[in-house]
A and B are shown apart, each in its own frame.
Chain A
Amino acid sequence: MKGSQKNSTNKGENTNKTEEKPQQAKSQHVTDDIHTNIEQIKQNIGHNTDVIFRSFQLGTTKLKAAIVYVDGLVDKDLIQDQILKSMIYDLSSIYSEEQLSDHDHLKDWVNNNVISVSDVKEEKSFDNVITSILTGSTALLIDNINTIFILGTTSYKTRSIEEPITESLVRGPREGFNESLADNRALLRRGLPDPALTMLEYEMGVRSKKKLLLVYMEGITNPDLLMIVKKRLEKFDLDLALESGYIEQFIQDDHFSLFPQVQSTERPDRVIAALTEGRVAILLDGTPFALIAPVTFSMMLQSPEDYYERWIPGSLIRLLRYFAAFITVFVPSIYVSFISFHQGLIPTKLAISIAATREGVPFPSLIEALLMETAIEVLREAGLRLPRPVGQTVGLVGGLVVGEAAVKAGIVSPIMVIIVAITAISSFAIPQYSAGIALRMLRFGAMICAGIWGLYGVILFFLLLAIHMCKLKSFGVPYISPAAPYRLRDWKDFIFRFPLLIMKKRPQMMRTLDDKRQKGNS
């Protein structure tokens, strides 16, 4: 049993293939007879009340026709004005019955002169017809014609373009992606009206049939990278692709790493910047989160604002974030190791004051730290999931009241509360949510190592972290570049953000085909 579970991916592939085959065998082609065609569709999806069948006659002729659509997914005005009206009224006035008996002629005539919808396809396989209907198209069936017209009438309610909630900036565009792929694509096009901007379409999920766009810059993005991404996207094999997280988990390099190896973002400007650096972006229908690959650790600590602000504040703020990341991971563990192992390393006065506050605390410092850090994680999670006004109350009650009471009751020392608070606040300074989670998890590992081996444990943990990041690659790019391998050109945009004037070339680590950012002199 265990063996078969382990090979679940292989097994999944097999079952999917076997599922597809009978479907294809079952799939019949469209016939001349409208009644059998309608029956065929009805057999498949006719039992759903939202599937609407509307039969009518073409003008004054006796020729039968029908449209099929799903209520709520289509633009009804469009169907009434551009399809039904023209089919029922206009056709008859120009065309006589004799001419309509010529089938090929009729097909062309309907296509060219009657239907005034921009997006028209002809389909012969029922499978595709049904899929199209279920994604919002309208099927037009006409007697004596052995194809079905698929009319693009998709229209559903989408959220308007709003400010991205998870990545807010002080300065920068306030546009964020929404759930509609068409809108997101338009946002990218508007920001980058360059012929090199290329979008390849994929269909994700055997059942969900979500549209996915692989976006890159032709002539900039390295073809090797593109090949890796394409290969991994084609490997995607699930019936459902709900959110870009599904895709991310399928295409990432290391499934056991805590670090995100693909960046998710709601900001079109961020995607555009990444594209021009030679990275690829992945947009999925139904989610405002686009994916950017490959990523490096330094990208996790960057915010678009670094580039919008002038370079000195931009660099300093970035430096501050590196500092915050360090605090998030290591400060509680260093505190634990100093308190429980190396009291001698703390300056005497500070040591005395710490000892005074720790008097009466019943737990060793490791347990104390783990307790408090867990408590603050619970608080954060509770505040996140609750409605906003309630969430704030939870934060207030949890943070202030419980913290104060815990200190007064002598369960924890006030210095521990300070350490925990500093750590928590620092972790919020990391602009990428998923990177922030990674660092917060690592903090616990560091604390446990510190509890066992003291400062030596912290050093070991640092080594472990460094080794892991050195081994990690994101789509062939080392995760810690440009720190290693040394690429001095890329250091202009690493810990400091140098003036834009100096950044004349694209990042070297991306091995772009065209590495100049400026015009001319090519």
Chain B
Amino acid sequence: MMKQKDRITTTQMAIYVSTHMTALGILTLPRVVTATTQTPDGWISVLLSGLVINLFAIVLVKLCQRFPQESFYQYNPKIIGKWFGILLSFSLITYFILLGSFEIRGMAEVTHLYLLPRTPFMATIIPFICLGVYLTVGGINPLVRLFEVLFTPSILIFIIVILLSLKTFEPNNIRPVLGQGILPVIKGMQPTALALTGPETMLVVFSFMKEPQKGIKAITLGIATPLFFYIMTTIFTLGSLGVAGVQTKTWPVLSLFRQFEYTGIIFERFETFMLAIWILQIFTTFVTCLYVSALGFSQIFKKEIKPFIFGLAPFMYVISLSPKNINDFFHLGDFLGYVGIAFIIVVPSIMIIIAMLRGKKHVPAS
């Protein structure tokens, strides 16, 4: 009964990847995509880039499967040498720290706008980080258990709320499909980067998998679920707000849920529910970033993980407060999106080629 320590099942892995992916990106996705395409075809861009990401995520899993017992931090020195390896590990850690801080800031911004307009950021961020520390010191198992618990209700609430928005849905807003050809769609793939980051955590947590051979199944399921929500959200937001309307809103998805009211029920407006599950999803992304970066430090220095978690928490707090305004914040997001994509597409591809050339592989001890 105690043996399952530090091992996670395939389902848990899929849920882990998908909850990590679903975060800040979903709220701004319709805007950033439509701003580039200028056509109602944004959802096709999302679909296409999702498929591309999935393809490279499979390469990523293949790389991990060469070293099933080790995390990226542990095996990359074996492939590209000690110093380059450590350098790469630190850049991955930095990326996760920045991403985590970015998510916290985004949560604070939205909470400030919709729930607590007069509360300073400090008062919303500190308890949030404390909860993250409380969870991560428990290790990977409570982490994935929490994700599982939050997963089902999140999906249910999401589907119900999105179906309620049918009231303002206008089919003409998403027509014509491919009216201006495929070119705007291809262009629109670029800004989806931030929303589609997430599979790169697999580099680290893959080593916890109980059945590493099912890694591809896990990651495909893990990408497909958020992809489905992204496409749904994009279609429904575009359908309700129109191409022009989507671009003028900072958080178009929340605006979508503010559009409609159902009188006669206890609640007339439903963006609160959406906001609630969305805060939970941000939390999941933040804690994975915290955990994965602390794990990186602990594996590089071969020390206990707890001091690193406690050390990183205030650090992330400071970084989260550093963007001066919301535009700074969105620039950071774009940057992180590209770095994330680099860690999904470029790094694993190059690494797997080097590993194949040098014949590096995990040799089972026995």
Contact = CB atoms under 8 A, between A and B. Distances in A.
A455 B115 contact: yes
A235 interface: no
B131 A484 contact: no
Given A345-B267, A454-B116, A471-B142, A483 B1 contact: no
B115 A484 contact: no
A347 interface: yes
Most buried by B among A345, A463, A477, A486: A463
A270 interface: no
Nearest to B278: A459
B124 A453 contact: yes
A476 interface: yes
B53 interface: no
Interface string A450-493: 00011110011001101101110001111010011110000000
Chief secondary structure at chain B's binding surface: helix
12 contacts: A225-B1, A342-B115, A345-B267, A456-B116, A459-B280, A460-B128, A460-B131, A470-B143, A484-B148, A485-B11, A485-B148, A486-B9
Contacts of B185: none
A483 B146 CA distance: 9
Contacts of B127: 453, 460
A341 interface: yes
Given A341-B115, A456-B279, A485-B12, A478 B272 contact: no
Contacts of A483: 148-149, 152
Contacts of B279: 456, 459
Interface in B222-274: 263, 266-269, 272
Contacts of A347: 263, 266-268
B299 interface: no
Contacts of B142: 467, 470-471
A477 B115 contact: no
A361 interface: no
Contacts of B149: 466, 469-470, 480, 483-484
Interface of B: 1-2, 9, 11-12, 111, 115-116, 119, 123-124, 127-128, 131, 134-135, 138, 142-150, 152, 263, 266-269, 272, 276, 279-280, 283
Contacts of B147: 484
B51 to A, nearest CB: 27
A472 to B, nearest CB: 9
A454 B115 contact: yes
A470 B116 contact: no
A35 B274 CA distance: 86
Interface string A80-98: 0000000000000000000
Interface residues of A, number: 32
Contacts of A463: 131, 280, 283
A228 interface: yes
Given A345-B272, A459-B279, A463-B131, A485 B145 contact: yes
A455 B272 contact: yes
B313 to A, nearest CB: 15
A467 B134 contact: yes
A104 interface: no
Nearest to B272: A345
Contacts of B111: 456
B172 to A, nearest CB: 31
Interface in A186-232: 222, 224-225, 228
B148 A467 contact: no
A42 interface: no
A511 interface: yes
A471 B138 contact: yes
A326 B127 CA distance: 23
Interface in A290-306: none
Interface in A481-508: 483-486
Interface in A27-79: none
B267 A456 contact: no
B272 A224 contact: no
A511 B1 contact: yes
Contact of B276 (A225, A228, A459, A469): A459
Given A453-B127, A466-B150, A467-B134, 4 more contacts: A466-B149, A470-B149, A478-B145, A484-B146
A486 B148 contact: yes
Of all A-B residue pairs in the complex, the 9 with the closest CB atoms, nearest first, are A484-B148, A476-B1, A484-B145, A470-B145, A470-B146, A471-B142, A470-B142, A471-B138, A224-B1
Nearest to B12: A485
A471 B149 CA distance: 12
Contacts of A455: 115, 272, 276
Given A453-B127, A455-B272, A341 B116 contact: yes
A296 to B, nearest CB: 12
